[in-house]
Structure 1
Amino acid sequence: MKKSLSHKIFIGLVSGLILGSIIQYMLAGIPIFDEYLVGTASAVGTMFVSLIKLMVVPLVFVSIVAGICELDSTSQLGRLGGKISGLYFANTVLAVVVAMVIAYILQPGSGANLGEAGAGASALTEQGLPNVGQMIVNIIPDNPIAAFASGDMLQIIFMAIVVAIAIKSLGDYAKPAQSGFAMANDIMMRLITMVMNLAPYGVFALMINLGATLEMDSIISVAGYVAIVVSILFAWILIVYPLAVWMFTGIKPSVFRAKTREQVLFSLSTASSNATIPVTTRTLVEKFGVSKALAGFGVPLGATINMSGAAIYIAVAAVFATNAYGVTLSPAELITIGATVCFMSVGVGGVPGGAVVMIAVLIQQFGLPIEALAIVAAVDRINDMVCTSANVVGDAAVVTIVAGSEGELDHDHAKDINATSKPVQETA
C-alpha cells in the first residue's frame, strides 16, 4: 500500500532521531559518523528549511493579496480580521492562564540544582522587553524592500492588505491584477507541493543532527519541567483544538487530528511557524476545504500573532526559573508575568529559538536569576519543537472555525477522514 506523505515524514523523523542518537552514544569519536555524516545531515536539513523559507515571504504577500481580492467587500475583510484576531488572542490568554495555574500547582524546578550558567546565557539578555506601542508603529514600513529582505511579517501583511484594498477599489479596471495575483497564488501552491515531496528526506536529515547533538544529561536534570511544558502543549494540540473545532464545525476530533498530522510532524522537525506556513495553508485548502481566500489571509496572520504555544512555554519557564533558585512569587506577581507573557508571545516570531530570547528578557525584567536561563536554553530544542506544533495547529483550528462561521468551509470534505488531497473551493 502506498504510504501517505505524513507517514513518510513520520518515518523520516523517527529513523533520523534514532540514527542520530546512535551516532552520539555509540559511534562518537569516529570522524566518518560524528563529523562527516552529521555535518552532511546538518547541511541537507538547513538547505531544506531554507527551501521552505524561500517561499514564505512571496507566499504570504501573494496569498493575502489574492485572498482579499476574492472577498466580496472590504467590510468582509474587517469582519474576518476581527474574528480571526479575536480568536487568536482568546486562545493565547486561555493558554497563559492554564499554563500559569498548572505551573503554580506543580511547581516545576523546586529543589533543582542547576549549577553555573553557561557562557552564552547572559548574551541573550541584551534584548530589551518588546515595546507594544513601538511594535504597532513599526507595522508601517518606511522601506518596503527592507521589510521583504528581513522577512518582517507584520510589515509584509500590512503592505499586502493595503495593496489588496487598492486593487479592490479600482473595480473591474483592476481585474487583470486580481487574476495575476490569483495565478501567482496557484503557482506558489504548486511549488509548495513540489517541495513537500522532499519533506521526508529533509526531516530525516534534521533529526539526525538533533539526535547527534542533544545533551541528555541536561534534559534528565529538568525532566519534570520539560514534561510539564510538553504535556500542556500536547493537550492543546490533541484535546483543546480538536474539541474546539468539533464544537463549532462538527468535525470529529479524530478527523481533525488525522488531517493535521502532517502539520505536526513538519513543525516538530523545523521548529518554525513561518517555515510551516505553506504546509498549514495546504492542509486547510486541500484537506479541510477552506477557501483559498480565507486560508491565504488567516494563516500568515496566525504565524505572526497566534503564539499560544510560545505563551505556554514562556509562562512555565518563568515559574521554573523562580522555583529553581528559591524565589517565591506572589499571586499578583504571577498575574503580572502572565499578562506580560500574553504581549511578549506576539513578539516571539515564527523562527526557531525565538521563545528563549523572550524568556531571557522576562527573567531579566523581573529580577529573576539569569543562571536559570542556561538550563532553559539547554532543553529549548525539545520544548520549541512542540511549542511550534501548538502554534501552527492553533492556526489551522482558528481558521477552520472562522471558515465554518463564514460559509467558506466544505463540511462534507472536511468531515471525510479519507478526503485528504483533493483541492476544493477555489474562491470565497
Structure 2
Amino acid sequence: MSTSTAQENRRAPRFNPRVFAVAVVASLVLGALLGWIAKTTGASWLVTVLDTIGSVFTSLLTFTVLPLIFTAIVVGINSLRSVGGGRTAARLGGKTALWFAATSLVAVLIGIALAALFQPGRGLVIEPDPAKLSAIGEKTHGSWLDLVNGLVPQNLVSAFAEGETLQVVFVALLIGAASYSLGDKAEPFVNFNRSAFEVIQRVLGWIIRLAPIGTLGLIGNAVATYGNEFFTPLLKLIAAVYVACALVLFVVYPLLLRFVAGVSPVRFFAKTWTVLQFAFVSRSSSATLPLSRQAAENLGVDRSYANFAVPLATTTKMDGCAAIYPAIGSMFIANLFGIHLGPAQYLTIIAVAVFGAIATAGVTGWFTMLTLTVGALGFPPEVVATGIAIAYAVDPILDMMRTATNVAGQIVVPTVVARTEGLLDDEVLAAPSAPPLLDDSSEARLARA
C-alpha cells in the first residue's frame, strides 16, 4: 500500500507556488496586452474568446462557493471541541480566543477605514446581470426586518438552488451548533462534512491551478471593455491592503507588546524578523509554523503554552487574511458592482471578522473568509466568484503582506497571554536571539532549556 502510494506521489506533477505566482502575474500582463489589442483593433472575436475563458473560470469558482461555506462553518464550529481540557487549559484557551477576537476587531476596523480612504473598485461598475444587481440593491437598502425575514429559507434545497448565500450561512450556523451540542451522536455527520470540505478544497485547488488562464481571460476582457481604467481599482486594492497590514504589523502589534506585555517592539522584531521574512516569501502560515513556535519560545513564552497557542493561531489568528482582506475585498467587490453598503453591512463585515475566524478554526483562509463575508452580505454566488476572480489577478502580491501580518499576530497574541498568565520568562526574552531554525542542534538547545 505504502509502495503504491509512493509511486503515485512520484508520478504526480509537483505544484510550485513560486512558479504559479509568476504565471499569474505573467497572465495578468498578457491578458492586459490582448485586451488592449482587442480594444484598439476592434477584434470582436478576441473579445469573445477572452470573455468565454473568464466566464468559464468564474463559473467553476461559483459552484464551489455555497458548499464551501456550508461545510466550512459546520466543520469549524465542531473543531472547537478539541481546544484543551481542564480549568487551566479552558482559561488559557478562552483568554487566547478573547485576544484573537480583540485584535481581529482592531484589524477589521483598520481594513474598513483604509478601504473607505482608497475606495478600491470605485469608478468602474461591472454589471454581470442587471436582475441580480437589482436584487442586491434591495437587500443592501432593506430594513433589519427584511434582513431577518430573508435569513430563513423555505427549505434547505431552495437556499442552495436559488443561490441564497445568507440563508446558507444561517442554516450552516444552526446545523453546526446542533451537531456540536449532540457530541458523539453527531460525529458521523461531522465526519461526512469534514470529508466533503476536503473534497471541495481539493476541487477548488484544481480550479485555482487554472487561475493563470482565468486571469488572462478576465483581465483581457476587462481591458477590452473598460480600457486602462481597470488597473486603477487593482492598484488601489494593493495599496489599501499593504497600508492596512503595515499599520497592524508596525503600529498595533508594537503598542500591544509595549503596553500589555511589557515587551520591547525592537526586541520582538529582532527575534522574529527572519520568521516574518520567511512568511512574506513563502506566503504560508502553515509552512512558517515551526519557526513561529520557536520564535515564541525565544521570546520567553512557556513551551507547553506555545505548543498549544501557536498552532491554534496558525489556523485561526489571521488578521491579514481573515480580517483586513475580507473587509477591503468585500468593499472592493461592492464598489466594482456599484453596490451601496450601509451601516448594517459594515457591522456584518466586523462580526464575520471577529467571530468568523474562531467559528471556522482549522479551515480559515483568505478565500474562505472573503467568501463568508460577502456571503453574509447577501451577494449572490455569481458576483462573489466574479469579484474574487478579478482580485485573484493580484493575489500573489497581496498574499505576501497578508501572510507576514498573519504570522506576526500568531506570535504576538501568545506572547501577550503568556505575560498575563505569568508564563513569560524574562531571562529568555532578554537573551540574544537564537537562529529560528529547526535543526538538530536547535532542538537540543530547546530541550535543555
Asked if Structure 1 and Structure 2 have the same fold, meaning a TM-score greater than 0.5 normalized by the shorter chain, the answer is: yes
Given candidates 291, 304, 307, the residue that maps to 2:318 is: 307
The SS at the match of 1:276 is helix
Q: Residue in 2 aligned with 1:317?
A: 329
Counterpart in 2 of 1:250? 262
**Post-superposition shift, 1:87?**
0.6
Aligned to 1:405: 420
Matches within 5 A, 1:198-347: 222-285=234-297, 287-309=298-320, 310-346=322-358, 347=360
Q: Alpha-carbon deviations, 1:315-360, whole Å to 9, x = none?
A: 1111111222322222233223322343334438255744454355
User: What's the Cα RMSD here?
Assistant: 4.6
Which one of the candidate residues 118, 121, 124 is aligned to 1:109? 121
Q: 1:226 to 1:24 in 2, by over 3 A?
A: closer
Rounded to whole Å, the distance in 1 between the matches of 2:336 and 2:23 is: 34
User: Once structures 1 and 2 are overlaid, which stretch shifts more, 301-310 or 17-26?
Assistant: 17-26
Summarize the alignment of residues 26-425 of structure 1 with structure 2, pairs less than 5 Å apart: 74-112=86-124, 128-129=168-169, 131-136=172-177, 142=187, 222-285=234-297, 287-309=298-320, 310-346=322-358, 347=360, 349-350=363-364, 353-358=367-372, 361-362=375-376, 364-365=378-379, 369-370=383-384, 371-420=386-435
Q: CA deviation at 1:366?
A: 7.1
- Stretches of structure 2 that go unaligned for 5 or more consecutive residues are 1-16, 31-78, 130-162, 199-210, 221-229, 437-441
- The SS at the match of 1:222 is helix
TM-fit CA distance, 1:399: 0.4
CA displacement 1:1-45 (0-9 Å, x = unmatched):
xxxxxxxxxxxx99999999899989xxxxxxxxxxxxxxxxxxx
Helix, strand or coil at the partner of 1:112? coil
TM-score with structure 2 setting the length: 0.56
Distance 1:298 1:20, change over 3 A: same
- Superposed CA deviations along residues 81-140 of structure 1, whole A, max 9, x for unmatched, are 1211111111112222222233234322211366879xxxxxxx8984373344455565
2:257–2:416 Cα contact (<8 Å) kept: yes
Letter in 1 for 2:173: V
Comparing 380-389 with 348-357, which one deviates more in the overlay? 348-357
**Contact conserved, 1:272 with 1:352, CA < 8 A, in 2?**
no
Could you say if the C-alpha distance between residues 274 and 283 of structure 1 is closer, same or farther in structure 2, counting changes exceeding 3 Å? same
- Paired-residue identity, %: 26
Where does the alignment leave 5 or more consecutive residues of structure 1 unmatched? Answer: 1-12, 27-60, 118-124, 154-209
**1:244 CA displacement:** 0.9
More helix by share: 2
Instruction: Go from structure 1 to structure 2 and tell me whether the alpha carbon gap of 1:214 and 1:413 turns closer, same or farther (over 3 Å shift).
Output: farther
Gap change, CA 1:393 and 1:137, over 3 Å in 2: farther
Letter in 2 for 1:298: A
Count residues in correspondence.
314
Letter paired with 2:393: A
Amino acid across the alignment from 1:132: L
Change (3 A) 1:112 1:298: same
Instruction: Letter of the 1:388 partner, please give it.
Output: T
CA distance in 2, matches of 1:138, 1:234: 39
Q: Which residue of 2 aligns with 1:190?
A: none
Which whole-Å CA distance do the structure 1 matches of 2:250 and 2:370 have between them?
24
Deviation at 1:367, TM superposition (A): 8.9
Residues 101, 24 of structure 1: CA spacing in aligned structure 2 closer, same or farther, 3 A cutoff? closer
**2:242–2:398: 8 Å Cα contact kept in structure 1?**
yes
Return the alpha-carbon distance in structure 1 between the equivalents of residues 398 and 344 of structure 2.
27
Asked whether the equivalents of residues 270 and 352 of structure 1 are also in contact (C-alpha less than 8 Å), the reply is no
- In 2, the alpha carbon distance for the partners of 1:345 and 1:377 equals 21
What's the CA shift for 1:312? Answer: 1.0
The letter for the 1-side match of 2:266 is: S
Distance 1:365 1:302 in 2: 29
How much does 1:387 deviate? 2.2
Structure 1 or 2, whichever has the larger Rg, is 2
CA shift, 1:293, in A, is 0.7
Query: How far off is 1:297 after superposition?
Result: 1.2
Q: Which amino acid aligns with 1:80?
A: L
Q: 1:401 to 1:343 in 2, by over 3 A?
A: closer
Aligned-pair CA distance for 1:363:
6.0
SS at match of 1:104: helix
SS in 1 for 2:287: coil
What letter corresponds to residue 259 of structure 1 in structure 2? K
Q: Which amino acid aligns with 1:307?
A: M
Could you tell me how far apart the structure 1 residues matched to 2:258 and 2:402 are?
22
Instruction: Report the Cα offset of residue 219 of structure 1.
Output: 6.6
Contact 1:356 1:380 in 2 (8 A): no
